[in-house]
Amino acid sequence: MSRIGKKIVSIPDGVKVTVDADRVITVQGPKGELSFEHHRDIQIVVDESEKTVQAIRRIETKKTNALWGTMIRLVENMIIGVSQGFEKKLELNGVGFRMNVQGKKLVLALGFSHPVDRDIPEGLEAKVEGNTLTISSCDKQRVGQFAAEIRSLKPVEPYKGKGFKYHDEIVRRKEGKKAGA
């Protein structure tokens, strides 16, 4: 039994949640609009009077028990996204490593023989301040996916700490080779 699935999610002011007959959940708020199609074995119930959303299992199987908590978490992330938004911060460390935003492109100098250009996906916003890249949007999955793609270009290495790391990530440093006697 999922403790997460039992949780009732409250809807903040300024956010509207609707469920279509085609199982499509749409959440609208000040930061944007998100929608997704939920699983057929889970029913999403929106109570307009109490401003709450709840997930209910239609049948009891192992699969629906697993999906029950996932569906209510997805709805909660959509509500948080359209009301507050999500952001990820990446730090770029290393001598000669640079990054800047030119229009809808992120231009990176990562020590390769050529600059690396990445298009910023539609709906995402990227800002560079010093050596910190901030990616923000109302869609948590797209923010995390783009941050992971950028980090994979030059992941932080444990010897000198060069490369991209998340702002709150702790990198365990290794000791280098010792000189022989």
- Give me the half-sphere count of Cα atoms (radius 13 Å) on the Cβ side of residue 128: 15
Percentages of the chain per state (helix, strand, coil), in multiples of 5: 20, 40, 40
Across-strand partners of 99? 108
- Split the chain (181 residues) into runs of 10 and give each run's mean pLDDT: 81 92 91 91 89 90 88 93 95 93 94 93 94 95 96 93 92 83 60
Domains of the chain: 3-83 (3.90.930.12), 86-166 (3.90.930.12)
- pTM (2 decimals)? 0.88
Contact between 134 and 127 (Cβ < 8 Å): yes
Cβ density class 27-57: b for 16+ within 10 Å, e for less: bbbebeebeeebbeebebebeeeeeebbbeb
Q: What is the pLDDT of residue 131?
A: 92
The mean pLDDT of the chain is 91
- The whole-angstrom separation of Cα 31 and Cα 27 is 11
82-128 per-position pLDDT tens digit: 999 999 999 999 899 999 999 999 999 999 999 999 999 999 999 99
Q: Which of 20, 37, 32 is nearest to 75 (CA)?
A: 37
